[in-house]
Copies of this chain bind each other. A is one copy, B any other.
Amino acid sequence: MSTPPATTKGEATRMAILDRAYAIASATGLEGLSIGALAAAVGMSKSGVFVHFGSREDLQLAVLDTAARRFADRILPTAMKSQAGMPRLRALMSTWFEWIRDQRGSCLLLSAISEYDDRPGPLRDRIVGYQLRWREELARAVAATVARGELPHETDTAQLAFELNAVALAVQHEAAVAGVEAAAQHGARMLERLLGAAAHLRT
């Protein structure tokens, strides 16, 4: 309410820069981001961009935060509309598949891990942190399903969360190889196979 217009405008500019940076990084990877190209894309000077992001790494970290927020904003509210337990677990996965489809098969957060796995530093730490948080979210959804008796008491929640993550990775990978539609179909069948196997505690 009492925010001065200058700050509001500054925040709007920052958001516009981030929006463009997110698009560039989605297409070419986080390492594909350069302040120069970004400045040109948003019609600003490099120093204008530096006012908002002190360094290229700050910008890359902000893009990661943007990606994580957009992902969570897309998946979680939809999943929360479904009943806790198996319906929510399924909603979570199907919305995730839709997200991958919307990103035309290229989720920045999933791709970032292979970009930075060999490069220790703040970017890698942030990426791994988001992966772990998301894995916890999946494990929580599995645990809630177990608590409602829809999966066996002995279910290894971390293992099943790993497997659910695997389905999404495979859908993203397959989208690049065989197209998003075929990828989503294979992914949906795999999800049913895994949930069915988990329900019967096969291995």
Contact = CB atoms under 8 A, between A and B. Distances in A.
Contacts of A176: 113-114, 116-117, 128
- How many copies the complex holds: the figure is 2
B131 A118 contact: no
A148 interface: no
Which of A27, A116, A193, A200 lies at the interface centre, i.e. has the most chain B CB atoms within 10 A of its CB? A193
Instruction: Say what secondary structure dominates the interface of chain A.
Output: helix
Closest 7 CB pairs of A and B: A166-B170, A117-B176, A197-B197, A111-B114, A192-B203, A196-B202, A169-B169
Interface of A: 26-29, 31-32, 104-106, 110-111, 113-119, 128, 131-132, 135, 156, 158-159, 162-163, 165-167, 169-170, 172-177, 186, 189-190, 192-194, 196-198, 200, 202-203
